[in-house]
Amino acid sequence: MKTTHRTSLIFGGARSGKSAFAEQLASRLSDGNQQVLYLATAKAGDTEMQERIAHHRERRPADWGTLEQSLELGSTIMARSRADNIILVDCLTVWLSNLLFSESTNFPEIGHITPPPQFAVQRQALLDALVQAPGQIILVSNEVGMGIVPMGAVSRWFVDEAGRLNQSVAAIADNVVLVAAGLPLYLKGQPC
């Protein structure tokens, strides 16, 4: 049983295979000896999202635990992480969106975006948890900044903050893997 702290960031574009890769990594790391907790950040708001969530559930082993947490990710990681378990968080960009829209604020199309007060608190709590939590943590995130700069202030803010969050998590992580077309490219660390 592995007891060392290890954090991995798995990121890529939409439908790149990043979630499947993260799930395979969790299975390899657990080797059947460590409990895996799937920490889901998505909310099943509409039919499309319900279908996406169902697809992800079908792929996961039946013995994995699942916990839905859309906002308080850092405190949940701290409460659930143990030296003998693995937490797989899917995904950071959905969580970021949840934080941004947590207070049903109407954001302007032009001008400055002021995120809800809990944004900075929850973001810092996540980064602190990644440093302090005793277990292995695998985080999935989207790379949203490789395309056209979006129109609309809130869309640009989201792309900027997603990039900043990925950079902050990558600085902490032991492994950083970019997944494209289902293929992993290790940017930091070694294959597990």
Q: What are the φ/ψ torsions at residue 18 (nearest 5 degrees)?
A: -65, -40
Going from N- to C-terminal start, the domains of the chain cover 6-188
Percent of the chain, pLDDT > 90?
Answer: 69
Residue 164 has a pLDDT of 97
Q: Contact 70/118 with Cβ under 8 angstroms? A: no
Residue 4 has a pLDDT of 55
Residue 46 has a pLDDT of 76
Positions in the chain whose pLDDT score sits under 70:
1-5
Examine residue 91 and say whether the peptide bond preceding it is cis (omega within 30 degrees of 0): yes
Q: Hey, what CATH class is 6-188 in?
A: alpha beta
Q: How far apart are CA 42 and CA 151, in angstroms?
A: 24
Residue 3 has a pLDDT of 40
Alpha helices by DSSP H, listed for the chain, are: 18-30, 47-59, 73-80, 92-100, 118-132, 153-172
Residue 111 has a pLDDT of 87
Token pair 């990039």 is at which residue? 163
**DSSP structural state of residue 148:** P
Q: Contact 105/116 with Cβ under 8 angstroms? A: yes
Which residues are known to be catalytic?
A: 56
Span 103-138, pLDDT tens digits: 877 887 888 889 999 999 999 999 999 999 999 999
Q: How far apart are CA 17 and CA 48, in angstroms?
A: 18
